[in-house]
C-alpha cells in the first residue's frame, strides 16, 4: 500500500481583494506519510489556515502539484473531495465545526454516520477529553474549551486517515491541552493516522516527527535556536 498521504510540491496561492493581490503561499512543498505527525508553526497571517484548506480541497492552489492518498488533485472532482472530507480527511477548524442545532452526542452520531460507521467510540472520546458531562448540551451551551474538545471528539470519531488540525489546543488551558496530545499520538500509532497540526503548544509540537515553520510562503525546518 502507498504510504503517502500528502505530496505537495511548489504550491502557490494568493488572494485578491479589490485591486490588491496578496501572495500567501509561494512554492510550498510538504510530504506526509501514514503514521507521521508534522507540526506547523508560524505567525498569524503566514498562511497556516490557507494551507490546511488547500489540503482538504476547500481551496484550490494557483499552481503547483498536490497529491492526496496518491491521487493527483486534477483527478479529484467536487464529489471526490466531499467524500474524502466525510470519510478520510478530518479538518479541525479554528472556530470549531459543530452543528449548532445538535447536541454534542448528536453531533458525534452524525459525524460517525457521515463516515459510514455503524459503531463509534464517541462516549470514550468524550470521557478521555473530560467532557462526558456535556454530551446532552448544545454547542452554544459550552465554553470555548469544551467546544474545542467536542470538535476534537467529532474529528476522531470518524476514524480519519488524515487529520488537519488548526490550533487544536488554542482555547485550552495547559492541563486540559495535555489530555489532547494522546488522542493524536495513540491514533497515529494504532491506526497509522497522519496528522498535520498547526500548533504553538510545545506538548504537541515536541511529540511530532517534524516541526516546520511557515515563513515567506514556504515551509522550512523550524530552528528553535533562531526563534526567541
Ligand X SMILES: Nc1ncnc2c1ncn2[C@@H]1O[C@H](COP(=O)(O)OP(=O)(O)O)[C@@H](O)[C@H]1O
Do 170 and 198 form a contact (C-beta atoms < 8 A)? no
Chosen from Mg ion, ligand X, none, partner binding at 45 (C-beta under 5 to 8 Å by type): ligand X
What is the DSSP pairing of strand 4-17 with strand 63-68? antiparallel
Q: Is 201 in the site for Mg ion (CB under 5 A)?
A: no
Set of cell numbers at residue 177: 491541552
- Residue from 2, 3, 9, 15 binding ligand X (CB under 6 A): 15
Q: Min. distance of Cβ 198 from ligand X in angstroms?
A: 7
> Could you tell me which stretch among 5-13, 48-56, 58-66, 120-128 binds Mg ion (CB under 5 A)?
48-56
Q: Is 103 in the site for ligand X (CB under 6 A)?
A: no
Q: Is 13 in the site for ligand X (CB under 6 A)?
A: no
Distance between CA atoms of residues 216 and 19, nearest Å: 22
Does residue 228 sit in helix, strand or coil?
A: coil
- What's the sign of the alpha-carbon dihedral 182, 185, 190, 196? positive
- Residue from 1, 17, 19, 118 binding ligand X (CB under 6 A): 17
49/103 with CB nearer ligand X: 49
- Residue from 36, 40, 41, 49 binding Mg ion (CB under 5 A): 49
Do 154 and 96 form a contact (C-beta atoms < 8 A)? no
Backbone angles phi, psi at 51, to 5 degrees: -60, -50
Q: Is 44 in the site for ligand X (CB under 6 A)?
A: yes
Q: Is 24 in the site for ligand X (CB under 6 A)?
A: yes
- What's the sign of the alpha-carbon dihedral 62, 3, 121, 123? negative
- Could you list the residues that contact ligand X (CB under 6 A)? 15, 17, 22, 24, 42, 44-50
Amino acid at each position: 500500500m502507498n504510504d503517502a498521504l500528502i505530496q505537495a510540491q511548489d504550491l502557490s496561492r494568493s488572494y485578491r481583494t479589490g485591486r490588491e493581490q496578496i501572495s500567501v503561499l509561494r512554492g510550498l512543498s510538504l510530504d506526509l506519510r501514514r503514521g507521521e505527525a508534522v507540526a506547523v508553526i508560524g505567525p498569524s497571517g503566514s498562511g497556516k489556515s490557507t494551507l490546511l484548506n488547500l489540503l482538504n480541497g476547500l481551496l484550490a492552489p494557483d499552481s503547483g502539484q498536490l497529491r492526496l492518498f496518491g491521487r493527483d488533485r486534477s483527478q479529484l472532482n467536487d464529489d471526490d473531495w466531499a467524500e474524502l472530507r466525510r470519510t478520510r480527511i478530518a479538518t479541525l477548524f479554528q472556530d470549531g465545526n459543530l452543528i449548532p442545532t445538535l447536541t454534542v452526542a448528536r453531533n458525534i452520531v452524525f459525524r460517525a454516520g457521515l463516515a459510514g460507521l455503524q459503531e463509534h467510540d464517541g462516549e470514550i472520546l468524550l470521557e478521555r477529553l473530560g467532557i462526558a458531562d456535556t454530551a446532552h448540551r448544545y454547542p452554544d451551551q459550552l465554553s470555548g474549551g469544551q467546544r474545542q474538545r467536542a470538535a476534537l471528539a467529532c474529528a476522531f470519531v470518524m476514524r480519519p486517515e488524515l487529520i488537519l488540525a488548526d490550533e487544536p489546543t488554542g482555547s485550552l488551558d495547559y492541563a486540559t491541552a495535555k489530555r489532547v496530545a494522546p488522542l493524536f499520538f495513540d491514533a497515529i500509532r494504532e491506526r497509522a493516522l497522519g496528522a498535520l497540526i498547526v500548533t504553538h503548544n510545545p506538548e504537541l509540537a515536541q511529540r511530532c516527527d517534524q516541526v516546520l515553520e511557515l515563513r515567506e510562503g514556504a515551509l522550512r525546518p523550524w530552528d528553535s535556536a533562531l526563534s526567541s
